Amino acid sequence: MFYRKKKYIAAASLSSIAWRRFLKNKLSLCSMIIIALFTFIAILGYLITPDQSPFSNEQYLELSTKKPGFSIQMLGVRKNEKVKKTNIFYKMLYGEKSSFSSLAVYKYQFENDYIEVETYTGTTPNDGEIKKINLADVVYPLDNSTSIIRKDSILQFKDIYGNTHNESIASLRTQIKKENFYTKHFWLGSDRFGRDMLSQLIIGTRVSLSVGFIAVIISLIIGILLGALAGFFKGWIDQLIVWFINVIWSIPTLLLVIAITFALGKGFWQVFIAVGLTMWVEVARVVRGQILSIREKEYVEAGKALGFKNTRIIFRHILPNVMGAVIVISAANFASAILMEAGLSFLGIGVQPPMPSWGSMIKENYGYIILDAAYLAILPGIAIMTVVLAFMIAGNGLRDALDVKLTEK
């Protein structure tokens, strides 16, 4: 008895075929990994920045324009104020105000119940300011209305929470050495205000990706709606929308963004809206063109014959078939939005200080290109170039993967 082996043909969906095509494109896959990495960095935000203060704006003017890899000993002096405690999610989104003020230390010595610190200046000789700080004032948030009483080797004082402390001078010195002294590393150097460049770049990543994401969402909502109405209904609706598209299309994009920005004002959210309101035109043109070719298909005519409402035909039967082209153009718009935001911030009408942005970082530091600190402007420029190039390559890969004319090898 012979048995015939049955061959089963696995029917793959169009989405799975497109996904396999995309995975074969190694360059596009690497671009998606880069985009995912930048997105992960943007989400974590202040949890991974060396400077976790709001906007990573902790300034040390004596540490300005230090080279990458620079490190310095710091002394943390407790602030005499109550600091609000935050949870991890609030800290991730907005940062956390430090309960210590830090001093860059060149050298120090203990003298009775004080610590004498010579601040770092970076010059030779150092010639820094000499500061004498009470040991209790370094460790605890003190109540300024009460004095520090010394009895032999014991200090008595009251903190801002009303607690009375009796601490020995020896224990305070030991605590300061272990907990208040630390080494601060500037892995990518510092800018002219002494801010950590790595922290500024990380928070700038969040700004750029946020602008791209929200601008693309706004452009998709407006573009898909107007494009679908124009392509499906034709007639005077189509003519009116096409006329409006052509009017917006005829205005230079950057000038239109600048005009909207001046109308809405300068700021974080204003940039999102201004960029998004200028990027819907391409989406509307693509959606309209796709729907004009699809609206005469048999399944659309069948839907009309069955009495389906126009909204159901558009959103459930037509738009799913044009989303491939929309996804591709959205990737390109994402890159354009990042470039536009960087340009606006460079011109000073985008994201406003102290919020860091890659464009504003280039503006603040482009003068150092001809000096010995060119990295201050080159690093944010490389970040912009990397993200924009990744989105463009990923968009090209998506276009090839979603092209139904290509046959899978």
Q: Is the domain covering 197-401 a CATH 2.40.50.140 domain?
A: no
Nearest to 327 by CA among 257, 272, 400: 400
User: Which whole-number Å values give the CA distances from 82 to 78, 126, 167, 248, 398, in the listed order?
Assistant: 10, 34, 21, 53, 52
**Confidence grade of residue 5 (pLDDT, cut at 50, 70, 90):** very low
Q: Are 58 and 103 in contact (CB under 8 A)?
A: no
The conformation of residue 96, written as its DSSP 8-state character, comes to -
Of 4-8, 205-209, 248-252, the least confident: 4-8
Structure confidence at residue 409 (pLDDT)? 46
The region of weakest confidence among 165-169, 216-220, 322-326 is 322-326
The pLDDT of residue 405 is 52
What pLDDT is stored for residue 293 in this prediction? 83
Whether the predicted pLDDT of 10 surpasses 50: no
Determine which of 10-14, 28-32, 397-401 has the lowest per-residue pLDDT on average: 10-14
**pLDDT at residue 303 above 90?**
no
Phi-psi region of 209 (alpha: psi -120 to 50; beta: other; left: phi over 0): alpha
Higher pLDDT, 270 or 389: 389
pLDDT band at 277 (very low <50, low <70, confident <90, very high): confident
For the stretch 323-339, pLDDT in tens is 888 888 888 899 999 99
CA–CA separation, 110 and 117 (whole Å): 9
Quote the radius of gyration of the chain (alpha carbons, Å): 30
pLDDT category at 163 given cuts 50, 70, 90 is confident
State yes or no: pLDDT of 9 exceeds 80. Answer: no
Cross-strand pairs, 298: none
Task: Work out the average pLDDT over 93-98.
Answer: 91
Contact 215, 331 (CB under 8 A): no
Kindly tell me if the per-residue pLDDT of 176 is higher than 90: yes
Instruction: Output 398 or 74, whichever has higher pLDDT.
Output: 74
CATH 1.10.3720.10 spans which residues of the chain?
197-401
- Average pLDDT value for the chain: 87
> Would you call 263 helix, strand, or coil by DSSP?
helix
Q: Quick check: 40 pLDDT over 90?
A: yes
Return the pLDDT at 255. Answer: 83
pTM of the predicted model as reported, rounded to 2 decimal places: 0.87
Mean pLDDT calculated for residue range 97-114: 92
**Which tokens is 184 given?**
């601060």
The 10s digit of each residue's pLDDT in 61-73 is 999 999 999 999 9
Per-residue pLDDT at 17: 79
Most confident of 179-193, 329-343, 362-376: 179-193
Asked if pLDDT for residue 240 goes beyond 90, the answer is yes
Is the pLDDT at 2 greater than 50? The verdict is: no
